[in-house]
Amino acid sequence: MSFLVTNFCYIDLMQKDIFTGFFVYYFIGLIVSRIGSTVIDPILIKSRLIKFANYKDYVTATKVDEKIDILSESNNFFRTIIAVLLTTGIIWLYVYVESFWPVLKDYSNLVLFISLLILFLLSYRKQTNYIIKRIKSNLP
């Protein structure tokens, strides 16, 4: 994503220091992954492009067939690629709109902060719900 944003949106995210790069790229990956989980999934579900199995069935099936976890991981990889492309497009659009309304540049950090706060709050809620579903699916 850093490469795409740097080359298409002209925001330099590439790091020269390997230690700083490790932190920045990891954090960007974390953000993109959460966008996939909390934004892409619900959009695809509501548009009926995907449909998930019942969570209890998923937990039961993974105990029988270990390959389901591998397939799920692969599935999440594709969702992350979609999130990278979508996020790059949104950043490009923001930069484009910013060129017409330069005042937006003054609020970029605030928009980023609030967006990340909302993203991680939604991620926390989703993860908590998964834990609850997992507990319920393992109870008799």
Instruction: Kindly report the backbone phi and psi dihedral angles of residue 12, in degrees, each rounded to the nearest multiple of 5, phi listed first.
Output: -75, 105
| Contact residues for 100 (Cβ-Cβ < 8 A; gap 6+) | none
d(CA 25, CA 32): 10
Indicate the average pLDDT of the chain. 91
d(CA 119, CA 36): 10
- CB 34, CB 26: distance < 8 Å: no
- CB 13, CB 2: distance < 8 Å: yes
The predicted-structure confidence for 39-78, as pLDDT tens digits, reads as follows 999 999 999 999 998 888 888 899 899 899 999 999 999 9
The predicted-structure confidence for 86-115, as pLDDT tens digits, reads as follows 999 999 999 999 989 988 889 999 999 999
* pLDDT at 84 (0 to 100): 95
The predicted-structure confidence for 111-127, as pLDDT tens digits, reads as follows 999 999 999 999 999 99
pLDDT at 13 > cutoff 90: no
Residue (of 34, 42, 63) closest to 121 by Cα position: 34
pLDDT at 140 > cutoff 80: no
